[in-house]
Structure 1
Amino acid sequence: MFVRIVKMAFTEEKVDEFLENFEKARHEIRNVKGNRLLELYRDRQHNNVFFTYSYWESEDDLENYRKSELFKEVWGKTKPLFSQKAEAWSVDKLITMP
């Protein structure tokens, strides 16, 4: 299992549109084969900056999602709202401390 982190900065007037779109799609994304967790975070100092954390069983599962119609639809609505290019990282979780 690995974690995909995506940082997105939106134009200020597009933040509400992003949040509405995310709310509509989040359950579908979470139910994609191989997805184990989906979280959305907002930067505390920059209200227009968000991070998604998603946990995936395998890289193939993430790639299948990225090739899906759902991803094309979600990303197609999200990308035009950016104020700058999104950044993404795939990382392995090493330690969890409950």
Structure 2
Amino acid sequence: MIATALVSDPKLLMLDEPMGGLNAEERQFILDLLRDLNSSGMTLLIIEHVMSALLSIADKLLILDYGRVIFDGRAKEALEDAKVVQAYLGVEAESLRN
């Protein structure tokens, strides 16, 4: 599906769960491809539940929890946000620091 979308040389590529159903090797292949596309100037809009994958390629994240925005900012700062930690790990951010 990604190859089909790339034929028209888009400026924006929208992907819904591109890591879904992939093993670790396939996931890495897709991450490398997306990183290369982004480096070449293409904007990527990705809906994904694999947060670690997004953190390795995204500059900015908008994170939803049950349809509500809980984070909108730099990817590097996402895991330091208490609401993100609570939503993804189910623990209070303070307990991770202790």
Q: TM-score range by the shorter chain?
A: under 0.3
Q: Which structure features the higher share of strand residues?
A: 1
| The structure with more helix, counted as a fraction of residues | 2
Q: Report the TM-score when normalising by structure 2.
A: 0.26
Larger RCO (CA within 8 A; separation ≥ 6): 1
Question: In terms of Rg, which structure is larger?
Answer: 2
Length-normalised TM-score, structure 1:
0.26
